Amino acid sequence: MTDRTYNVLFLCTGNSARSILAESILNKEGGGRFKAYSAGSQPKGEVNPHALKELDALGYPSTGFSSKGWDVFAEPGAPEMDFIFTVCDSAAGKACPVWIGHPVTAHWGVEDPAAAIGTEVEIQRAFAQAARFLKNRITAFINLPIASIDRLAIDQHVRQIGSLEGASVKSAKAE
């Protein structure tokens, strides 16, 4: 068993919903073994209030988040990432910065709850579903024996996690 903390970056386009949900969920569920961050290729500049409401309803931290560009994690002095997961299809298709240390990467696409239209209840249901799908992936991820398996096996496992229930169309076809 290792006392090492693994840095994980969740990426999406706007960094206002899915990546924020994933950051909060992993930081709590990871029990100190993981430090999660989030960023976007074209950050919205604010966190979606429905995402914060969903985190609060589920008992996850819902304060202190900001919508920021992924370039802040490619700058000198930024935390070195061990894992990077894209959670939206458009971020998966973008040219990402070159990451120091060559982290393990995978696409965990989930439909964008911020794009949901309808009543307040329908919109919040979309956020609840996205949070559930992300929590399922995160639970599978934190239960991997990361310290005792080789990188090729880790790569394979994290890619398979991306095809769990709720995988966006692009994710499902990529596997």
In which region does residue 95 sit, left (phi positive, over 0), alpha (psi from -120 to 50) or beta (all else)? beta
**Residue type at 124?**
Q
Q: List, in order, residues 6 or more apart from 44 with CB less than 8 Å away.
A: 14, 15, 16, 67
Nearest to 7 by CA among 116, 30, 125, 25: 30
Q: Which residues are catalytic?
A: 12, 88, 96
Beta-bridge mates of residue 68: none
Nearest to 112 by CA among 29, 171, 32: 171
CA 55/CA 89 separation, integer angstroms: 22
